[in-house]
Amino acid sequence: MPSIDPNTGLEFFDLSQPWGHGTPVWPGFPGVTIERGSFHALMGTLTQRFSTTMHASTHVNAPLHLVPMAAPIGAVPLDHFFGPAVVLGVNVGKWDLIEPEHLEACGVEIRAGDIVLINTGWHNQYGDNQPYYAHAPGLSQASAHYLIDKGVKLVGIDTAAIDHPLATSLGPQRGGPLLPRLAAEYQVETGADPTDKFPEWQPAHKALLQAGIPTIEDLGGDLSEVSNQRLTVVATPYRWKEGDASIVRVVAIRDPKASETATTAPVAHHDLTHGWGYDVNCWPGKNPIHDFKRHQFHARDGAFVLHMSTIMHRGTHMDCPLHVLAGTHDITGFDLWKFYGTGVVVYIPKKRWEVITAEDLEAATPAIQPGDIVMINTGYHKHYGDNPDYYAYSPGLYKEAAEWLVEKGVKLVGIDVQALDHPLGTYLGPHGPGPMQPALIDEYKAETGRNMSDDFPHWEPAHKILMSNGIPGIENIGGNLDELSGKRLTFAAFPWKWTGGDGSFVRVVAFEEPIIGQKPEEA
Among candidate residues 212, 211, 220, 241, the one with its CA nearest the CA of residue 306: 241
The DSSP H or E segment spanning 117 is strand 115-119
Sort residue 310 into left (φ over 0), alpha (ψ -120 to 50) or beta. Answer: beta
Answer whether 114's CB lies under 8 Å from 86's CB. Answer: yes
Q: Which residues contact 400 (CB under 8 A, 6 or more apart)?
A: 357, 358
**Residue 353: how many CB atoms within 10 A of its CB?**
21
Angle at 320 between CA 317 and CA 324, to 5 degrees: 110
Query: Is 65 considered catalytic here?
Result: yes
| Rounded Cα–Cα distance for residues 55 and 58 (Å) | 8
CB neighbour burial string for 141-177, b if at least 16 within 10 angstroms, e if fewer: bbbbbbbbebebbbbbbbbbbbbbbbbbbbbbbeebb
Nearest CA to 393 among 355, 338, 430, 431? 355
The whole-angstrom separation of Cα 473 and Cα 321 is 10
Residue 359's identity, in one-letter code, is E
Q: Hey, is 330 helix, strand or coil?
A: coil
Catalytic residue among 55, 59, 65, 317: 65
Q: From CA 49, how far away is CA 39, in angstroms rounded?
A: 12
Helical ranges in 105-243 per DSSP H: 130-134, 141-150, 182-190, 194-197, 203-210
How many whole angstroms separate alpha carbon 77 and alpha carbon 62?
Answer: 11
Residues marked active site are found at 65
